[in-house]
């Protein structure tokens, strides 16, 4: 057992896994624990967004403000994430990509698409120590949903696209990890009859 209570036994897999969901649903907690268990790389959309800010010598707040007035930054972020997905999708190694659009951006490279969520009041409470207040968080979510639908015709409210959808308010982080690990360990490529078709995104 590790110091945080997770079973550190590693699982041998080469699955490319995408994890998506709104702020406060436990994305980082799951991805970090999953990365440790699978002994694999993990990239988040937030990390790539910070890289773009550094490349442009801008603060995160400055870049966020600029992104709200143009689709250029959103598309740049999505293109970078797509390139990461293409690179690791062809590598035959386990990898985790996290962002709101990760499942779509990874396209056919994704072996397992996961959506995390939790009731809004739970997510607000979990993010109480962040600079963003609950009203701002909800406004940003609505704006992002409209953007993705306008840019790419993606309906983030449609959960049927995902292989696994988990309400993280119902289980502890350890149990959420256990649910995902059970799906990974139980995956049999020979028995796989196919994922939902991934729509093409015009980036």
Q: What are the structure tokens assigned to 170, written together?
A: 């119902």
Are 106 and 18 a contacting pair, CB within 8 Å? yes
* Least confident span in 86-90, 116-120, 183-187: 86-90
* Least confident span in 61-70, 86-95, 177-186, 188-197: 61-70
Q: What are the structure tokens assigned to 143, written together?
A: 């704006």
* Least confident span in 8-17, 82-91, 108-117, 136-145: 136-145
Could you state, in order of their start, the residue ranges of all structural domains in the chain?
Answer: 16-183
Q: Determine the Cα–Cα distance for residues 154 and 175; give it in Å rounded to an integer.
A: 30
Q: What's residue 134's pLDDT?
A: 58
The CATH class for the domain spanning 16-183 reads alpha beta
Strands (E), the chain: 16-20, 41-44, 95-98, 112-117, 164-167
Q: What are the structure tokens assigned to 141, written together?
A: 């979510």
Q: What are the structure tokens assigned to 196, written together?
A: 């939902």
Please write the tens of the pLDDT for every residue from 154-192.
Answer: 888 888 889 999 999 999 999 999 999 999 999 998 999
Q: Residues 80-93, buried b or exposed e (16+ Cβ, 10 A)? A: bbbebbeebbeeee
Please write the tens of the pLDDT for every residue from 17-34.
Answer: 999 999 899 999 999 999
Q: What are phi and psi of 17, to 5 degrees?
A: -115, 130
Strands (E), 34-102: 41-44, 95-98
pTM of the model: 0.87
């Amino acid at each position: 057992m590790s110091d945080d209570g997770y079973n550190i036994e590693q699982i041998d897999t080469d699955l490319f896994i995408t994890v998506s969901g709104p702020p406060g649903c436990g994305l980082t907690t799951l991805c970090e624990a999953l990365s440790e268990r699978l002994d694999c790389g993990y990239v988040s959309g937030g990390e790539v967004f910070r890289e773009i800010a550094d490349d442009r010598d801008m603060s995160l707040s400055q870049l966020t403000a600029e992104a709200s007035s143009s689709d250029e930054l959103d598309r740049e972020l999505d293109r970078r994430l797509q390139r990461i997905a293409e690179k690791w999708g062809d590598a035959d190694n386990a990898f985790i990509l996290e962002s709101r659009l990760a499942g779509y951006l990874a396209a056919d490279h994704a072996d397992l698409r996961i959506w995390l969520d939790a009731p809004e009041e739970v997510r607000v409470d979990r993010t109480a120590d962040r600079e963003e207040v609950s009203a701002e968080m909800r406004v940003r979510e609505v704006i992002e949903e409209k953007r993705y639908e306008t840019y790419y015709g993606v309906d983030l409210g449609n959960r049927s696209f995902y292989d696994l959808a988990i309400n993280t308010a119902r289980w502890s982080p350890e149990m959420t990890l256990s649910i995902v690990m059970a799906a990974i360990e139980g995956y049999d490529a020979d028995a796989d009859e196919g994922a939902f078709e991934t729509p093409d995104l015009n980036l």
